[in-house]
Structure 1
Amino acid sequence: MLAPGSALTLERGWEKTGATGSLQNLKKFNNQDFNRLRAFCLNQGLLFEDATFPTHVSSIGPNLLLEDKLRQIQWKRPIELQKNPYLIMDGVSRFDIIQGELGDCWLLAALGSLTLQKQFLAKVLPQDQGFQDDYAGIFHFRFWQYGDWVDVVIDDRLPFLNGRYLSVHPRASNEFWPCLLEKAYAKLRGSYQNLHGGYLSDALVDLTGGVQVQLSLKDPPADLEEILKAADKSQCLMGCSTSGQMRRNIELRNGIVQGHAYTVTGTVKIRYKNGWKHIIRIWNPWGHGEWKGPWSDNSPQWDHVEPKCREALLRNKDDGEFWMSCESFQEQFSWLYICNGTPTFLDFGDQRSTTCRDVTNYFTLSPGTYVVVPATTEDQEFEFLLRIFLKNQDYNENSNSLPRPVLPMGSAIDASQLQQLLNEVILQDEMTSLGGRFSFDSCRGILALMDLNSNGQLTLQEFGSLWRSLTKYMDIFSKEDRNNSGFLDVSELKSAVQTAGLAANEQLLRLMTLRYGNADRRIGFSDFVCCMLRLETMTCEEKD
């Protein structure tokens, strides 16, 4: 990925190996130290006033409002608005957010997704602050900027116009984290005006330090449903947007807003009538205004869903969140954005993403030595941040990891080909081969579990998912087979199930050994894989 900056970060196996861009190397925006400034204010009995982002037109931006309205802006602290203000009440949620007059849906959509992924949220929103203890009118938030995490200090004076929030306002009147975080980001960007229109992809990266890709929904990849499911399972941040930049914020009769950004908050495959249906959950940063078509809150489609499932999924409130089918999603939205700390989504085909700010590209390369040369056109000089992610695995003499076969891009394999591949690799390992070869029937069973498209073949992406499971279960099998017999008995199987993070009671364990074990009720590796994949699928269905 190329972007302005000057650092080089090399990552192996999706794990960061250096300290570059970590919170340990946190940079102080405008050289302001939060702890030192707060301590000074507390010692002097003062409320912090930020001279670098003052209560002045320069912080709003000269062109955001008409001149007479700019003169009417008032700045108020939360303690002037509420008797008992809080930074956070009952946790952080997307439903805390209601977009204000400012056109920063792109930021708020990313922020809504951030609230769902606590591992990223903790980096952006430090917990060492609030209105109850050591309050001095000063707060700070962190954002990722071109290779570094930057700590941005603000005072808590918020802009109001005619008694209303100029920017985002919380659903609960005395919870202020959305307003203050937005102010910190406005300071980072130079003014509130600079948040009035932007790119969801930029905000996703700034809130995570991750890598993003954007997919056109007008020319979507064939495995879009699989991508959405994998991104949701991998805890990616996701958003989407509609077209119509010249008709921004125009709400259609079906409830969808043109030129607007939304958060993708979930995706699930549910039983519907006599089959299955893939539906997607989406949230509007306005905090209201929802899709009125199929799978909306009051649509008749929900009448054909099991009551228990319907109760778990359907939230019949005008809170801006709604469900829609994958087909409607592609019809109504133009772009899907996915972001994570590592580009897990690059498992899905040949993805390329280009914005005004960065370029993300994916390559499948043969082993060798390569030179990467960032270049610009017309002999212009720029600085670049170059991040390289290598999807590989380190092997050593004692490693039990499976070397993944190299399959041609776009290929698919059937049960017979899967059997040949598995046996060619498994038989190379003496211990796991003791339990016997993968039979054709077992491979048909595995394919049925992993074949999300139900076409009798595994795509490259589905095969990649299977191979990750095989590697994991081979490692578990080797550790639990303490006598190196090539088999697991009932007690070893129980321990293996627990190690895998799955659940099985004594009765189920006995049934598993009867179904998958030999005459001595011991399970070899090939049968162990079939057993664990089946148990994994059962566990996922129960969670859904």
Structure 2
Amino acid sequence: MTKNFSINIANIDVISRQTISKSFGRFGKWGQCCKLNDLLPTINGKLAFMNSVDRDEFWSALFEKAYAKLNGSYEGLSGGRPCTAMDDFTGGVSEIFDLKENVNPHLFDIMLQGFERGSLMACSIEPNPQIVEQRLSNGLVKGHAYSITMVKYCEIKNPRWSGRVPLVRIRNPWGNEVEWNGAWSDKSQEWNYVTPDERRNLGLTFDHDGEFWISFSDFAQNFDSVEMTNVNLESLTEKDLNNHIKHKWEVKVFEGSWKKGLTAGGCANYPTATFWNNPKYYITLKDEDDGDRDMKCTMIVALLQKPRKNATAENKNLTIGFSLHPVPPNILVGGVLNDKALRSTLEIKGLTHYANHRQMSHRFHLTPGTYCIIPSTFKPDEEAEFILRVFCEKPNDLSGFGKSACRSMLAMLDFDKSGKLGFEEFFHLWSIISIWKTAYRRHDKDGSGKLNGYEFRDALLTSGFQISNNLFVNLMTIYGDEQREIAFDDFVLACIRISKVISKFI
């Protein structure tokens, strides 16, 4: 945990004197993952692993034990990247930025944007294989997972120059005097040109607590990588939203699967006839980011594969990835993508990376418009379930149906109970969906991608459903979220439910 920052990384509930339950965010969702007793490993009467200066404080050690259980053992926590843990603690989406090659020219702005949205950040220097946690003359430590606790522009004024300096505040997890000793370090001369008010705004202290400031130029020169985990609204506390977090990400989530012979088409290296069978998701970016000099939109796409039942340690993860295609308006026919026309469009360069990782993510800087995201395994006919998450700065329109909606639509029109839809059944289904989609968009007046209660009732009327108040309240209770809003998937499910009720009386 860091100063001026708190995040709901895990729910800790004492169930009894010796049983504790902890929740982690894994595979895109929060859930109860493990229960454990309050026994902790010790050596000579002292905690063997994580511990606090206060000998009566044990929450961190219990949290570590729960995470060790989640990963099989304490040994399972050794090594690895900080972003893996940050994903599990927040249910967020991580990015890794290289500071030595292909450095993003907008990295400081990205970090500042992330800080204002409550993102967790870490940085590190590549380790020396010959020396464990080698200390450098500038006070930094190699192979060390530092946390980034603040990203700010600092106003300075001296006899020769005045303006803003980009600064980064970093914390050494040792929490001691081992700190950066260059420019902007504790008690360095640069602070003489910062006003008392600006110092208070930065929360400046000069303690041997492992926390220090560094200019962004020195930061980029001395560190090798930055890891950032972008979190959604569920992971933020009310205190965060009321304090320094100025913005939040607009997040859309879809669950899907690759099925052999149906939707497991593999990547574009294989016959294109199979590639186009992969699931497709269309997203429309309407408004550019606030203050963006290039008048473009930020979009982070993350593809997460779920664990497979028969997977072994050797093939735990499939090789997965996704491609992104711009969609010209003339190849959208009735809201449906014309595959033949899409195949002639060029993939955006560099957006088709594949790896056998649990999660693949990429940050895009795009002009407003419609795009098609195609997630796939590298080889055809490999089966798995996945979660696709899209983070945007502004509300967007993401089209696609979840598994529940697809099953309900199939059941509604599968008159012969074959488990499949014939041409006439599919044509009838598509006609109905088009009516519902038109009604939904017509009454989503603020373009938020969700309907409030009033908009929901009007959309049902436009779709031809005039229902009682009791049924309306029940539908809102079943399909509405915590804010009593209806997403398009849930609107379709509600319409299907009404259609089934009506069909019983016809």
Q: Please give the TM-score of this superposition, normalised by the length of structure 1.
A: 0.47
Tell me which amino acid in the other structure corresponds to 1:203. A
**CA distance, structure 2, for counterparts of residue 320 and residue 296 of structure 1:** 11
- In the other structure, the counterpart of 1:172 is 54
Kindly report which structure 2 residues correspond to 1:138-287, keeping only aligned pairs within 5 A, or say none.
138-151=19-32, 152-218=34-100, 219-244=102-127, 246=129, 247-272=131-156, 273=158, 274-287=162-175
Cα shift at 1:348: 4.6
- Residues 360 and 164 of structure 1: CA distance in aligned 2, closer, same or farther (over 3 Å): same
Greater RCO (Cα-Cα under 8 Å, separation 6 or more): 1
Aligned residues: 283
Correspondence for 1:301 among 167, 190, 193: 190
Unmatched runs of 5 consecutive residues or more in structure 1: 1-92, 96-114, 403-544
Q: Alpha-carbon deviations, 1:447-477, whole Å to 9, x = none?
A: xxxxxxxxxxxxxxxxxxxxxxxxxxxxxxx
Q: Alpha-carbon deviations, 1:12-66, whole Å to 9, x = none?
A: xxxxxxxxxxxxxxxxxxxxxxxxxxxxxxxxxxxxxxxxxxxxxxxxxxxxxxx
Cα shift at 1:148: 3.7
> Equivalent pairs: percent with the same residue?
29
**CA distance, structure 1, for counterparts of residue 48 and residue 443 of structure 2:** 62
**CA distance, structure 1, for counterparts of residue 166 and residue 373 of structure 2:** 43
Kindly report which structure 2 residues correspond to 1:486-501, keeping only aligned pairs within 5 A, or say none.
none
- In the other structure, the counterpart of 2:230 is 340
Tell me which amino acid in the other structure corresponds to 2:360. V
**Matched residue SS, 1:203:** helix
Kindly report which structure 2 residues correspond to 1:396-435, keeping only aligned pairs within 5 A, or say none.
396=442, 399=445
**Matched residue SS, 2:212:** strand
Q: Alpha-carbon deviations, 1:349-386, whole Å to 9, x = none?
A: 89979784321135659867957342135x79563423
Cα shift at 1:173: 1.8
Tell me which amino acid in the other structure corresponds to 1:235. G
**CA distance, structure 2, for counterparts of residue 182 and residue 321 of structure 1:** 22
2:300 and 2:390 in contact (8 A); partners too: no
Kindly report which structure 2 residues correspond to 1:2-401, keeping only aligned pairs within 5 A, or say none.
93-94=1-2, 116-118=5-7, 120-121=8-9, 124-126=10-12, 128-129=13-14, 135-151=16-32, 152-218=34-100, 219-244=102-127, 246=129, 247-272=131-156, 273=158, 274-288=162-176, 289-311=178-200, 312-342=202-232, 347-348=297-298, 356-362=357-363, 364=366, 370=372, 372-377=374-379, 381=382, 383-389=384-390, 391=392, 392-393=395-396, 396=442, 399=445
Cα shift at 1:136: 1.2
Q: Please give the TM-score of this superposition, normalised by the length of structure 2.
A: 0.50
**CA distance, structure 2, for counterparts of residue 269 and residue 292 of structure 1:** 20
Tell me which amino acid in the other structure corresponds to 2:150. G
**CA distance, structure 1, for counterparts of residue 217 and residue 356 of structure 2:** 26
**CA distance, structure 2, for counterparts of residue 147 and residue 400 of structure 1:** 27
1:243 and 1:259 in contact (8 A); partners too: yes
2:123 and 2:224 in contact (8 A); partners too: yes
Q: Alpha-carbon deviations, 1:124-168, whole Å to 9, x = none?
A: 133x42xxxx75122121112224434221111111123332211
**CA distance, structure 2, for counterparts of residue 211 and residue 390 of structure 1:** 9
**CA distance, structure 1, for counterparts of residue 148 and residue 207 of structure 2:** 17
**CA distance, structure 2, for counterparts of residue 359 and residue 276 of structure 1:** 35
Tell me which amino acid in the other structure corresponds to 2:175. G
- Residues 245 and 210 of structure 1: CA distance in aligned 2, closer, same or farther (over 3 Å): farther
- In the other structure, the counterpart of 2:327 is none
Tell me which amino acid in the other structure corresponds to 1:280. V
**CA distance, structure 1, for counterparts of residue 16 and residue 443 of structure 2:** 57
Cα shift at 1:256: 0.8
**Matched residue SS, 1:214:** strand
Name the one with the larger helix percent: 1
- Residues 291 and 371 of structure 1: CA distance in aligned 2, closer, same or farther (over 3 Å): closer
Question: Higher mean Cα deviation, 239-248 or 319-328?
Answer: 239-248
- Residues 214 and 290 of structure 1: CA distance in aligned 2, closer, same or farther (over 3 Å): same
**CA distance, structure 2, for counterparts of residue 125 and residue 350 of structure 1:** 27
**CA distance, structure 2, for counterparts of residue 178 and residue 338 of structure 1:** 22
- Residues 158 and 373 of structure 1: CA distance in aligned 2, closer, same or farther (over 3 Å): same
- Residues 220 and 159 of structure 1: CA distance in aligned 2, closer, same or farther (over 3 Å): same
Unmatched runs of 5 consecutive residues or more in structure 2: 233-248, 251-288, 290-295, 302-350, 398-440, 449-506
1:117 and 1:235 in contact (8 A); partners too: no
**CA distance, structure 2, for counterparts of residue 147 and residue 139 of structure 1:** 23
Tell me which amino acid in the other structure corresponds to 1:224. L
**Matched residue SS, 1:372:** strand
**CA distance, structure 2, for counterparts of residue 387 and residue 310 of structure 1:** 42
State the Cα RMSD in Å: 3.3
Q: Alpha-carbon deviations, 1:323-369, whole Å to 9, x = none?
A: 10001111121111121235679955899797843211356598679
1:295 and 1:323 in contact (8 A); partners too: yes
- Residues 314 and 358 of structure 1: CA distance in aligned 2, closer, same or farther (over 3 Å): same
1:248 and 1:259 in contact (8 A); partners too: yes
**CA distance, structure 2, for counterparts of residue 318 and residue 220 of structure 1:** 32
**Matched residue SS, 1:141:** strand
